[in-house]
Chains A and B, each alone.
Chain A
Amino acid sequence: MPWLIKPYPIILKYRGAVIYITLQTTGIHEPPMPAYMGVVSAVAPIKFIFLIHYHQPTGQLRWIYDRVYENSYRLLLDVFKKYPDVKVAIHVSGPLLLEMLERSPEYIEELVRLSENGSVELLAGSIGEAVLPLLPVEDRFYQVREYLRVFERHAGFRPRGMWLPERVWEPSLPVPLADNGIEYVFLDDTVLYRAGGWRDDALYPWLTEESGRRLGVFFIDTELRYILPWRSVGEVLAYMRSRSGDEARVLVWGSDAEKFGEWRDPGWARRWLTEFFEALRNSRDIVETVHPGEYVEQYGYRGLRYLPSGSYDKMMEWSGGFFRNFLVKYPESNNMHKKMLWVRRKLREAGPRLPEEAWRHYHLAQCNDPYWHGLFGGIYLPHLRQAVYEHYIAAERMAEEVLESYSSKKLYIHRVDQDYDGAKEVLVETPLLNIYIDPGDGGTVYELDYKEEGYEHNYMDTVTRRMEPYLENTGFRMDWYRRSSARIHLWRPWATMDDWVNNTPWMDRGDVALKKHVARIAGDGEIVLRTRGAHYSEAEGAAPLYIEKKIRVDPDEPGLTVSYLVANESERTIEALLGIEHHLAPKICRETRECGLTGYRVNGVEMPVSARWGGRARRVEIISPVSRRLVLETGRGAEIWVAPINMPARTEKGIKEIYQTLGVMPVYRISLGPGEEFREEIRLVVQRS
């Protein structure tokens, strides 16, 4: 006979003490066994803050948004409405708030209504869901201020508490938050432990201080976060009860809304949540849901604490202990971050005449997701990177328009340490184009921004595939150089497209791919990159080479021409497959799956980004239904290899190959005798019609 098991514990009261027993069974025909059993004297119900964080990043694909909205957000709302007496705290991230206000404003209205009737406490956030410590100090303040402005306009009040994006904490944060009127935030208990706190200390909120500003901090319970909602409601409740004690104890669960309906199937989520809320409703003598604001009013803070930089346990692991490390691990993350700093300078310079929209673009581009990677997507999601650049470029163009940057001069060449690595890069700016060149990294082009309104796009938004912990022992070979453009390789004569894409070791027999080049900016705007390198042969040793790349930019046409020179300065003949590598990003349509072809056209044939192509051609056109066409044209025609560069990235659905960028490499079979030279000219131009 099947066993009927109550999902929540059996509670026995005896002389003021509470005995609770949770039963579980390994199968419906097995007798239940006690899983948890405990005795608590003079126990008070533990306070419980159920904090649900809703977030969709800037640049999310429309159909993903729709799916999550249906599967998760509607489901949650149904449950909240069904159990108005169960108190919940909710945070809707800035980008999602803006998206919902535009596409599903009724959802926000419902949340506000729930808030008004006391079911929900709504929390503030940052308008771009930006990890605040990554930002310039002033931006930290404005990110929150903008959120509050938008929120207040629609809700009619300002939240007291705030959700910190990725719960990334640095001790300087009380200043921008308190200056915005934020009273408390939520961190993970591991941050408290790193400051010397005990486990039970995390059951109370504490105050912290910076420069005279105070901020309250609640601590999210790691153990609870790992079991809710993945274990049975009974186990969850039993754990919660195990943390009971005095009446001021408060247990905080804070995590993603998408865990309910998106990570696992919505049916399961609905059942689990309903059961959980039902249990909460029926166990008020043991677990009492509270709102954070209400809790603070009633119990106040436990005392003063100073907390070190930190985040949740896994984030600390992925980042190597400090979130900013992601900027070091991923040059592309650093690239976006430093693009931010570069654009910011222009925005500030533009002053009050700058439309508010420019700052909105800027703030949305600060959305944290593509700046890092843990287990899922992040920096390996090209549509998110693309959106970051779109917003920065749009903001930049608006600032340039206000500043009338190109009224008297149409070409600027800056030598600045754009990526803050100690060496100067060369940035070329025209009314329609930005071209960023890194002489130190093989004399390559790493950013190509097209600035026309409505078509903003970084055509060189690529990513370098790193070794991620989950890829160890899978046979994956990480990229040994940054996937940027105008990089010269001297492949072995028998190298193949596979060798290139999959990084077969020892195939590039030159050292010029990574060589530091010196940059000379001629008076006429030509940039000359030069270096000396070598071709290596097992039998004959090193053969010195002289490399020159002349980059010409016509300010009236959105394009650049690179003239390549490879001179053999040795006494022997160099046999190689000379490749000039480019990585180009067709703009991804984020609105629908049926926008049209995103890919390339070569010799009159159109191919999707997922397809490889190799053969003789003069030009390759990068095509997308949502952007201008970018044409790569060789001077004399070449064998051209085109291949998607995919990253085997982990997703919610397991490891999947995710497209990152389109590699395009003209290759030339060379046999350079002593003193002989190879010359080629490659043009990249954005076609406006």
Chain B
Amino acid sequence: MNGKAAWIISFESRYTRKIGGLGEVPPNIALRLPDKGYEAYIVTPGHGTGPSRGEPLLYLEKTGVETYLLPGPPPHIVFEGGALSDPNVYGPRVLDEKVWLLSRALQELVERLADTGLPKPVIIHGNDWHSVPPMLAAKKALAAQGTGPASVYHIHLLSRRHVDQGYLGKAGLDPWDEIPVMGRPRSIGELLEASAGSMDRLGAEASEALVTVSRRYLYTVLGVLGHRYSSRSGVVYNGTDWRITEIAEEASRLMGQRLDPREMKRWRRRLREKMLTEILEELGPGHVAVDDPEAAAFLAKVRGRGFREHGLPEGFPGDGPMVLMTGRLTRQKGFHVLLRGLEDLVAAVPDIRILLLVIPVWGSRRLIEEIVEAVELYPENLRAVFGRAATIYRPAHLAADAMAAPSIYEPFGIMAVEAMAAAAPVAASRTGGLAETVIDVREAGVMGTGLHHRPGYSSELASTLASLVLAMEAGYHEPYTAAWNRLVEAIPLEEVAQLLMENPGAPWLIRSSCIARAGEYTWEAAAEKTAGIYHEALGRAGRWVGEG
């Protein structure tokens, strides 16, 4: 291993257990940091995966936690035992217990770091509020050894979590404990007071750098936490490793024939038809994983219109313009906005096919019920796959004519970038990262990659989605024929219809723009930016860094 060591604390990782975007970002950045001078370790609870995937590293007697090393790349230090082994990553009944236990175990690990042969980190990089106490604990333990690492607090999603000293005490952080911040020691009590109990503000207060995932979201973050952190704030856009060639390869396996991404126009519609009618119909229980036990129990009983047994979808009755929507099943993602807009959407495009690939999480039961009811009421137009459906996930993007991203708020919105990587334009709410990654066709013409609507506005979502799918559908028809004319006339947004009238090739040019736009969001760029922020953070940490 070369370079300075960095510990990236994250509650999820694609190599252990992934729920949302957070499972992708730390490991993907970590993977590319060695080239930039940092040996990055993902520090994470195993949630029950450690023993099967890692090698035992050290048993921590005081906390009763077992640590494992996943050699990587990127290497992971995985903590197992007690609550940390509960497979429910964010279940509210175990989450705090996980935070406390990880914090105390991390302190113990630092104390016994010499026994492991692992290098001492100079950077502690926390991700979201769950990692704040562990980040502080690691910093405190390293400071006690005379090493004052710099910390970077990375907000992927603001929380409203507030805590008191009692909470931090359970994490092994006493008010008189001191940690180095910006080159001077500060007590936990002082930091807690300065942050008024806000976990996110505590993370920022205790760190040399505050990072978030898009410029628009940074304004939101600073608005909530306070503009006093602006001088040490930065943006690291997430990236994607999705490339159309690889997605096409995956889709080729489903289609049983090679799909050349350069000739997408020839096969994309066939892939869509097969996806909507056959592939969905063939999904078996083994293809779909539901982590949340409550949701799994509920889904086991779901049947009826649009569903086979166990909540598995029936195929659509036929082909049609396809919309895809993915994500964790939370209201933040705007599933309810889409459901509210269904009537308008179906009225505008009667044969529209909307496929939801959704991940139930704790507390999503009500939303599942709403979606099940909507599928029953719109059996021609709506299907849902509840759970991770790895075999169809990426090919579904390639089959889609448009992606729906109606988040109420969205720090970055990786789903939009992934859709664009698969040449699917995005109907996105104008919020956070979505406002930046998706370029509105009404402003940029064929250089655009989607259409924006105001967050929460179902009718606007319906008209943008309808416009996108009808425009993309027109791309499959000979321009100015009766069928083409019918599609273009039905486009609700006049600017989009006008664009097609002026340039019938617009749909495929927009798809190309999508691919190009997604190409700008690479993990390489994210790692480069992260390394720069580490460097600045170390500079702010001053004399403490590297001593000891």
- Residues from chain B with a CB closer than 8 A to the CB of A522 are 350, 380
Query: Is there a chain A Cβ closer than 8 Å to B175's Cβ?
Result: no
Query: Is there a chain A Cβ closer than 8 Å to B346's Cβ?
Result: yes
- Residues from chain B with a CB closer than 8 A to the CB of A155 are none
Asked if residues A532 and B376 are in contact (CB atoms below 8 Å), the reply is yes
Asked if residues B351 and A523 are in contact (CB atoms below 8 Å), the reply is yes
Q: In this complex, what residue of A is CB-closest to B320?
A: A523
Instruction: Provide the bound-state CA to CA distance between A424 and B340, in Å.
Output: 13
- Among B307-343, those with CB < 8 Å from A are 342-343
Count how many pairs of residues, one from A and one from B, have CB atoms less than 8 Å apart in the complex: 35
Asked if residues A521 and B350 are in contact (CB atoms below 8 Å), the reply is yes
Instruction: Provide the bound-state CA to CA distance between A519 and B348, in Å.
Output: 12
Instruction: Provide the bound-state CA to CA distance between A531 and B344, in Å.
Output: 16
Query: Is there a chain B Cβ closer than 8 Å to A569's Cβ?
Result: yes
- Residues from chain B with a CB closer than 8 A to the CB of A344 are none
Minimum C-beta distance from B492 to chain A (A): 12
Asked if residues B343 and A519 are in contact (CB atoms below 8 Å), the reply is yes
Q: Within the complex, which residue of A424, A519, A523, A546 is in contact with B376, where a contact is CB–CB below 8 Å? A: A546
- Residues from chain B with a CB closer than 8 A to the CB of A521 are 346-347, 350
Asked if residues A520 and B346 are in contact (CB atoms below 8 Å), the reply is yes
Asked if residues B350 and A532 are in contact (CB atoms below 8 Å), the reply is no
Minimum C-beta distance from B309 to chain A (A): 14
Minimum C-beta distance from B532 to chain A (A): 52
The interface size of chain A toward B, counting residues with CB under 8 Å, comes to 13
Query: Is there a chain A Cβ closer than 8 Å to B513's Cβ?
Result: no
A518 in contact with B350 given A424-B343, A569-B304 (CB within 8 Å): no
Instruction: Provide the bound-state CA to CA distance between A518 and B341, in Å.
Output: 11
- Residues from chain B with a CB closer than 8 A to the CB of A546 are 304-305, 376
- Residues from chain A with a CB closer than 8 A to the CB of B304 are 546, 569
Query: Is there a chain A Cβ closer than 8 Å to B508's Cβ?
Result: no
Asked if residues A415 and B347 are in contact (CB atoms below 8 Å), the reply is yes
Instruction: Provide the bound-state CA to CA distance between A523 and B378, in Å.
Output: 14
Minimum C-beta distance from A525 to chain B (A): 10
Asked if residues A518 and B377 are in contact (CB atoms below 8 Å), the reply is yes
Query: Is there a chain A Cβ closer than 8 Å to B127's Cβ?
Result: no
Most buried by A among B305, B342, B377: B377
Q: In this complex, what residue of B is CB-closest to A544?
A: B304
Q: In this complex, what residue of A is CB-closest to B372?
A: A532
- Residues from chain A with a CB closer than 8 A to the CB of B350 are 520-523
Q: In this complex, what residue of A is CB-closest to B380?
A: A520
Query: Is there a chain A Cβ closer than 8 Å to B381's Cβ?
Result: yes
A530 in contact with B343 given A523-B351, A546-B305 (CB within 8 Å): no
Instruction: Provide the bound-state CA to CA distance between A521 and B380, in Å.
Output: 11
Instruction: Provide the bound-state CA to CA distance between A487 and B61, in Å.
Output: 70
Q: In this complex, what residue of B is CB-closest to A525?
A: B350
Query: Is there a chain A Cβ closer than 8 Å to B373's Cβ?
Result: yes
Asked if residues A532 and B347 are in contact (CB atoms below 8 Å), the reply is no
Q: How large is the interface on B (under 10, 10 to 19, 20 to 34, 35 or more residues)?
A: 10 to 19
- Among A519-539, those with CB < 8 Å from B are 519-523, 530-532
Q: Mark A505-520, 1 if CB is under 8 A from B, else 0.
A: 0000000000000111
- Among B334-387, those with CB < 8 Å from A are 342-344, 346-347, 350-351, 373, 376-378, 380-381
- Residues from chain B with a CB closer than 8 A to the CB of A532 are 373, 376-377
Asked if residues A520 and B381 are in contact (CB atoms below 8 Å), the reply is yes
Q: In this complex, what residue of A is CB-closest to B305?
A: A546
Instruction: Provide the bound-state CA to CA distance between A523 and B381, in Å.
Output: 13
Most buried by A among B351, B376, B381: B376
- Residues from chain B with a CB closer than 8 A to the CB of A523 are 350-351
Q: In this complex, what residue of A is CB-closest to B347?
A: A415
Asked if residues A531 and B377 are in contact (CB atoms below 8 Å), the reply is yes
Q: Within the complex, which residue of A415, A424, A530, A569 is in contact with B377, where a contact is CB–CB below 8 Å? A: A530
Instruction: Provide the bound-state CA to CA distance between A518 and B346, in Å.
Output: 10
- Residues from chain A with a CB closer than 8 A to the CB of B376 are 530, 532, 546
Instruction: Provide the bound-state CA to CA distance between A522 and B344, in Å.
Output: 13
Q: In this complex, what residue of A is CB-closest to B304?
A: A569
Instruction: Provide the bound-state CA to CA distance between A249 and B376, in Å.
Output: 73
Asked if residues B351 and A518 are in contact (CB atoms below 8 Å), the reply is no
Asked if residues B347 and A518 are in contact (CB atoms below 8 Å), the reply is no
Q: In this complex, what residue of A is CB-closest to B373?
A: A532
- Residues from chain A with a CB closer than 8 A to the CB of B377 are 518, 530-532
Minimum C-beta distance from B515 to chain A (A): 32
- Residues from chain B with a CB closer than 8 A to the CB of A519 are 343, 347
Q: In this complex, what residue of B is CB-closest to A415?
A: B347
- Residues from chain A with a CB closer than 8 A to the CB of B351 are 523
- Among A228-276, those with CB < 8 Å from B are none
Minimum C-beta distance from B315 to chain A (A): 19
Instruction: Provide the bound-state CA to CA distance between A518 and B347, in Å.
Output: 11
Minimum C-beta distance from B191 to chain A (A): 50
- Residues from chain B with a CB closer than 8 A to the CB of A415 are 343-344, 347
- Residues from chain A with a CB closer than 8 A to the CB of B380 are 520, 522
Q: Mark B383-420, 1 if CB is under 8 A from A, else 0.
A: 00000000000000000000000000000000000000
Most buried by B among A518, A522, A531: A518
Q: In this complex, what residue of A is CB-closest to B379?
A: A530
- Among A538-587, those with CB < 8 Å from B are 546, 569
Minimum C-beta distance from B316 to chain A (A): 14
A518 in contact with B305 given A415-B347, A523-B350, A523-B351 (CB within 8 Å): no
Instruction: Provide the bound-state CA to CA distance between A345 and B114, in Å.
Output: 83
Instruction: Provide the bound-state CA to CA distance between A531 and B342, in Å.
Output: 14
Minimum C-beta distance from B482 to chain A (A): 13
Instruction: Provide the bound-state CA to CA distance between A70 and B41, in Å.
Output: 103
Asked if residues A520 and B378 are in contact (CB atoms below 8 Å), the reply is yes
Minimum C-beta distance from A132 to chain B (A): 34
- Residues from chain B with a CB closer than 8 A to the CB of A531 are 377
- Among B269-322, those with CB < 8 Å from A are 304-305
Instruction: Provide the bound-state CA to CA distance between A519 and B343, in Å.
Output: 7
Instruction: Provide the bound-state CA to CA distance between A519 and B346, in Å.
Output: 9
- Residues from chain A with a CB closer than 8 A to the CB of B346 are 520-521
Minimum C-beta distance from B375 to chain A (A): 11
Minimum C-beta distance from B374 to chain A (A): 8
The interface of chain B, by Cβ under 8 A from chain A, is 304-305, 342-344, 346-347, 350-351, 373, 376-378, 380-381
Q: Beyond A415-B344, A519-B343, A532-B376: 5 further Cβ-contacts under 8 Å?
A: A520-B350, A520-B380, A530-B376, A530-B378, A531-B377
The interface of chain A, by Cβ under 8 A from chain B, is 415, 424, 518-523, 530-532, 546, 569
- 26 A-B Cβ contacts within 8 A? A415-B344, A518-B343, A518-B377, A518-B378, A519-B343, A519-B347, A520-B343, A520-B347, A520-B378, A520-B380, A521-B346, A521-B347, A521-B350, A522-B350, A523-B350, A523-B351, A530-B376, A530-B377, A530-B378, A531-B377, A532-B373, A532-B376, A532-B377, A546-B304, A546-B376, A569-B304
What are the 4 closest A-B residue pairs judged by CB atoms, nearest first?
Answer: A523-B350, A530-B377, A518-B377, A415-B347
